[in-house]
Amino acid sequence: MVIIMDQNKTPLYDRLVLHASRQPVSLHVPGHKYGLINGLNGEQFFREIAKIDVTELSGLDDLHEPEGVILEAEALLAEAYGAEKSFFLVNGSTVGNLAMILGTLRENELVFVQRNCHKSVLNGVQLAKAKPVFLGPEVDENWGIAGGVSLKTVQEAFEAYPDCRAMILTYPNYYGMVNDLKEIIEFAHLRKVPVLIDEAHGAHLAAGDLFPPSALELGADVVVQSAHKTLPAMTMGSFLHVNSALVSAAGIEKYLRILQSSSPSYPIMASLDLARKYMATYLKEDQVYLKRELAAFKNELRKIDGVKLLEFPEFGGDPLKVTIQSETNLTGYQLLGLLEEKGIFAELADPYNVLFVLPLLKEGMSFPFMRVAEGIRQVLKESSGSKKDAKRPHVYFQKEKISVPFSYENLDRPVKMVPLEEAENYLCGEHIIPYPPGVPFLLRGERINARDLEGLLLLKEAGARFQGGSGLSKGYIKVFC
């Protein structure tokens, strides 16, 4: 990737700081008047940030029609990631996925969608009125979770549905697993089909070869990244990149204008400017340092009796994601809860595992890794159930490899609650989404099979939290009449 611009520049952030330094009088929105009007509880937390929480004033540009500092900041972003055109997003990868899909697909067009995608992808496909053909991911038996779809599945899907218009995949998955995306993209491109990637968990991958290659590097057409997940950006701050001969950036931009606030947050946008600089100036020395720190932490985890550090399968994975698996009779959820009592908050749990998202440290930065390891050790010592467990069933079964086109028609029908044990073969009446990770376990309109019910019970009993599934606690599920 050729870098010509000065990636140390942060034009939007600098302009905001300059504006704040002039001690301006605010006769404009927002109502806190740079923090002068103090209605915000927890004032001390907000005081500083209120100084840069501005609106589209002269010199501060306009996210929806950028021609000044935002245009420059977005050009730096595109260069840093090797994209033709890049956008700041102030409503997370959620809005990125919606705009990416609405800007690419038309009503009734067939689209391949990785079944274990985030709910925002499904919402986008539904809003576009496209027809998804779901591709079943590979399931990793050791981790007990679903990964990416295989090249073979994609090849078979194209054979079955040659008129598919786009493919939407998640890379890497929540746990940092990657797959043979390059071959998949090449295969799709031979058929002139664009590949849209939800790379919510991969905004840092372009920082160097310590990480798996980013989807843009592998040739993806549109890529959405939650900068706030793994780069030092404020929550909701995300990026969308277009690098395609098949998809028009203008079509996506049109939807970003429709879907994003007309008052985008300057603190979020400025944090994106800083996060891009952080990523773009990540040096070889930083990688060496981070690698050493991570290796020391992982070695410490390997020494703990009662948890297993999971190693990435076949294609490797993101070193910032570390998953430990309970080897006692504690579920992942219980382990996470006990760690929280020690002030250690992990990203997510599933029935067996706890996932940590580690920081993208630069040389010399410290992080309390040893406190985490010690916390795990203590939790396991204090918990009564530290005996090894026998082989356990896993939740995620391989559903169909290639579904028939899913129809959103006829879903405005009456629903009813039925006991779980009687629900097999009904069409599910609502999305049931363990959160996090936000990947629907059952979709509204999806036929429920016996394995779904087994998995659902297992999740419920292990202590998963759900969006949807209001009847589950009483053993019921909503189905179409």
Ligand X SMILES: Cc1ncc(COP(=O)(O)O)c(C=O)c1O
- Tell me how far apart the alpha carbons of residues 452 and 61 are, in angstroms, rounded to a whole number: 50
- Whose tokens are 């679903």? That residue is 146
- Tell me how far apart the alpha carbons of residues 225 and 307 are, in angstroms, rounded to a whole number: 31
- Whose tokens are 């990688």? That residue is 287
Considering the rule CB under 6 A, would residue 174 count as an interface residue with ligand X?
A: yes
Could you tell me the smallest distance in angstroms from the CB atom of residue 137 to ligand X? 12
What residue type is 312 in one-letter code? F
Considering the rule CB under 6 A, would residue 293 count as an interface residue with ligand X?
A: no
Could you tell me the smallest distance in angstroms from the CB atom of residue 94 to ligand X? 3
- Tell me how far apart the alpha carbons of residues 227 and 230 are, in angstroms, rounded to a whole number: 6
The nearer residue to ligand X, 272 or 330, going by C-beta atoms, is 272
- 8 Å CB contact between 462 and 392: no
Q: Which residue is nearest to ligand X (CB)?
A: 92
Could you tell me the smallest distance in angstroms from the CB atom of residue 38 to ligand X? 30
Considering the rule CB under 6 A, would residue 438 count as an interface residue with ligand X?
A: yes
The nearer residue to ligand X, 226 or 328, going by C-beta atoms, is 226
Within 232-368, strands assigned E span 238-242, 307-309, 321-326, 348-349, 353-357
Could you tell me the smallest distance in angstroms from the CB atom of residue 304 to ligand X? 27
Residue 139: strand pairing partners:
146
Considering the rule CB under 6 A, would residue 347 count as an interface residue with ligand X?
A: no
- 8 Å CB contact between 166 and 193: yes
The nearer residue to ligand X, 92 or 332, going by C-beta atoms, is 92
- Tell me how far apart the alpha carbons of residues 149 and 114 are, in angstroms, rounded to a whole number: 7
Could you tell me the smallest distance in angstroms from the CB atom of residue 201 to ligand X? 6
Considering the rule CB under 6 A, would residue 334 count as an interface residue with ligand X?
A: no
The nearer residue to ligand X, 105 or 200, going by C-beta atoms, is 200
- Tell me how far apart the alpha carbons of residues 459 and 479 are, in angstroms, rounded to a whole number: 19
Residue of the chain from 115, 118, 204, 321 that contacts ligand X (CB under 6 A): 118
Considering the rule CB under 6 A, would residue 226 count as an interface residue with ligand X?
A: yes
State the Cα angle at 260 between 21 and 132, rounded to 5°: 150
Q: Give the contact letters, 76-105, x = binds to ligand X (CB under 6 A), - = no.
A: ----------------xxx--x--------
- 8 Å CB contact between 111 and 165: yes
Considering the rule CB under 6 A, would residue 265 count as an interface residue with ligand X?
A: no
Considering the rule CB under 6 A, would residue 170 count as an interface residue with ligand X?
A: yes
Site for ligand X in 199-218 (CB under 6 A): 200
The nearer residue to ligand X, 11 or 202, going by C-beta atoms, is 202
The C-alpha torsion from 250 through 251 and 253 to 257, rounded to 10°, is: 130
Considering the rule CB under 6 A, would residue 225 count as an interface residue with ligand X?
A: no
Residue 290, number of CB atoms within 10 A of its CB: 25
Residue of the chain from 53, 61, 72, 198 that contacts ligand X (CB under 6 A): 198
Binding site for ligand X (CB under 6 A): 92-94, 97, 118, 120, 170, 174, 198, 200, 226, 238, 437-438
